[in-house]
Amino acid sequence: MDELILKEQFVDETAMSRRAFLQGTGLLLGFALTGASTDSVFAAPASRVVENEVTGTFAPNGFIRINPTGAVTLIMPMAEMGQGVYTSLSMLLAEELEVKLDQIQVQHAPANDALYANQFLHIQTTGASSSVRAFSAPLRQAGAVGRNLLIAAAAERWNVDPATCRAKDGVVFDASGSKHLSYGELAKAAAKLPVPPAANVKLKDPKDFTLIGTRAKRIDSPIKVDGRALYGIDTQLPGMKVAAVAISPVLGGKAKTVDEKAALAVKGVRQVVNIDEAVAVVADHTGAAKKGIEAGAITWDDGPNGKVSSADIVKQLEEESKKPGAIARNDGDAETALAQAAQRLEAIYQVPFLAHAAMEPMNCTVHLQKDRCDIWVGTQAVALTQSLVAELTGLPKDAIKIHNHLIGGGFGRRLEADGTVLAVKIAKHVDGPVKVIWSREEDIQHDMYRPYYFDRLSAGLDAAGKPVAWTHRIAGSSIAARYFPIWFKDGLDFDAVEAAAGPYALPNIHVDYVRVEPAGVRTAFWRGVGPTHNVFVVESFMDELAHAAKQDPVAYRKELLGHNPRALAVLSLAAEKAGWGSPLPARQGRGISVQFAFGSYLSAVAEVEVAADGSVKVKRIVCAVDCGMYINPDTIEAQIQGGTLFGLTAALHGSITFKDGRVEQSNFDSYLPMRIDEVPMVETHLIKSAEAPGGVGEAPTAIVSAAVTNAIFAATGKRLRTLPVDTDSLKSSS
């Protein structure tokens, strides 16, 4: 039987599985791999559909499949990791195709940059909050093309003018409404018609939308609630072994000694695989593999990075930041304006390395054979993963099959293929399929981190306190230069400088970037990346300017946003809804932040309370959003809530530090997530807009830190320029 249509079975090793608990059975069919299902979000893998189309299937483009049974399938170009894109992108297609949302099934797109490249990133990647931004137009066009062809097929059968026919809920009606044909009945005939260029097909007027802009239920919620949803870590295959892995605790190190005899003595352990930078113990089940790793008593040769420390890294960044960098923006003459300013302010801001710490730890299942390699994983970058595996194995790309899954938290971590590459290296030594699972400690201590940024700022104010000059130098690692070199041009990392000058009208601005690559650290995209540090820096420093000018922070910003009505609107709405200016008790304060990032305008007000012992309680976050034409308000509100908490976790707790080349944090006791009693109320207020859709998933993560630290200043008079929040510095002296 073709492995692409294997039913996936869950074997209970030591205790009842979560699906067994939810469903009362240990047997589960995943993603409806044997065909279309009326109650599953998922249909057959796209790779199978492309290879073996059902006779008469209507496939006018890379996104739509309608077979003669009437099953409507969207080939999903983006990965689902909790952000709701399966629903929002399905809504875009359903609107123009004229089908109900519950008529659409979703299947993962195969690796294919030509068909499914994200137009903002130019590769097949889910990132940069660009899923809706990148695919709103292509999916609407795909749906409109499909609808027009199906109507044309019906009109041809009835010998009438297509303009007299209409489609609704997957059925085409004639002018009288007495004749009708379902999309399934029309699929075969529509498939024979010439496909018009997508750009030539008229899209619906927004006033005629029946689905876009409405509150639609998540199509993936039912399978997540009842346990049918499959993540990469859930993969089970006949004859599969499980591998626990230990990776060198220092980047660039390798295993020095392994007690293979002791590891193999553990019941269920089958083999030990040593690939220098890591050791894997392959066993019949996870428990045996983990015991085998422990029994192996591995010692390590740390290599050249065994002395790396956080202090060394910060010192390197500080020194390099004194040098001029690649110019990102240079308006007017900031140097002269600074020299002539009535008042000059300077500040240094720093933000730490951050781990992704997704709920689903890194994992990958590989079956490497002589002529093919099958990979079961949750990835944000299907095509990149395929290319790297092809390079590693020497197999052609079309022999590398990526079976993509739901992702239990990505945040940029699954943009990287290092976990898959490691699994394939291990699989080279294993006969049959092997699932490689990282422990939580391995996941956190061998992450690819959000860069540590070291920023220098200067501003000049005139006699009235208005800014006349602004300079901002950013020093930090370049993710773009490593990940996709064509993104790195003339020494400039586009992501590292995004949102660096804010949305303000400033006459003289100079922003530059200094690339600094600390030894012993791997950096990668982290939910919001550049804006997560730039918005914190810019909005905190803007608050410093307002304070120096003896002006209200909201009023001060409004004076600088008269040219930008969308930014001004979100700022005004957030302040109004938060009750800006109303009195608060002692040691409580409000702080505001505004940004333009990922194509969306946001403003957030944080209301905080600082106790006498310095502990900070964020009581309320009020967020105003203009993300252009929105698809599903429910999804946006969920993203604002989730992104806010992700950003708050980083602001209050997040920091990865190094000692002797090793990451000091290892689990959720030392790399703290927010606890439920810390979670504030999060309010979202949407501004209706006809502008092109913007991104939402990362925007709230970027905006929240400055709002919180500005609120802390309002409550205590103490300015925080380094994250995470230092509670010791906030202790009351009274």
Q: Tell me phi and psi for residue 619, to 5 degrees.
A: -90, -30
Q: Tell me phi and psi for residue 515, to 5 degrees.
A: -80, 125
For 616, what's the count of Cα atoms within 13 Å in the CB-facing half-sphere? 32
Distance of alpha carbon 479 from alpha carbon 354, whole angstroms: 14
- List, for residues 609-643, the tens digit of each pLDDT value: 999 999 999 999 999 999 999 999 999 999 999 99
DSSP structure class, residue 27: B
- List, for residues 155-203, the tens digit of each pLDDT value: 999 999 999 999 999 999 999 999 999 999 999 999 999 999 998 999 9
Please tell me the pTM assigned to this model.
0.92
Q: Measured between alpha carbons, how far is residue 544 from residues 355, 541, 557, 596, 706 in Å?
A: 29, 5, 12, 20, 11
| 667: CB partners within 8 A, 6+ apart | 440, 441, 444
Residue 51 has pLDDT above 60, yes or no: no
- List, for residues 569-590, the tens digit of each pLDDT value: 999 999 999 999 999 999 999 9
- List, for residues 265-313, the tens digit of each pLDDT value: 999 999 999 998 999 999 999 999 999 999 999 999 999 999 999 999 9
- List, for residues 206-254, the tens digit of each pLDDT value: 999 999 999 999 999 999 999 999 999 999 999 999 999 999 999 999 9
Q: Tell me phi and psi for residue 716, to 5 degrees.
A: -125, -15
The dihedral through the CA atoms of 254, 257, 260, 265 has a sign that is: negative
- List, for residues 60-89, the tens digit of each pLDDT value: 999 999 999 999 999 999 999 999 999 999
Instruction: Check whether the bond before 352 is cis (ω within 30° of 0).
Output: no
Q: What angle do CA 198, 204, 208 make, to 5 degrees?
A: 165
Distance of alpha carbon 576 from alpha carbon 606, whole angstroms: 13
The full DSSP string for 689-721 is --SPP---SSHHHHHHHHHHHHHHHHHHS----
Q: What SS3 state is found at 603?
A: strand
Q: Tell me phi and psi for residue 723, to 5 degrees.
A: -110, 155
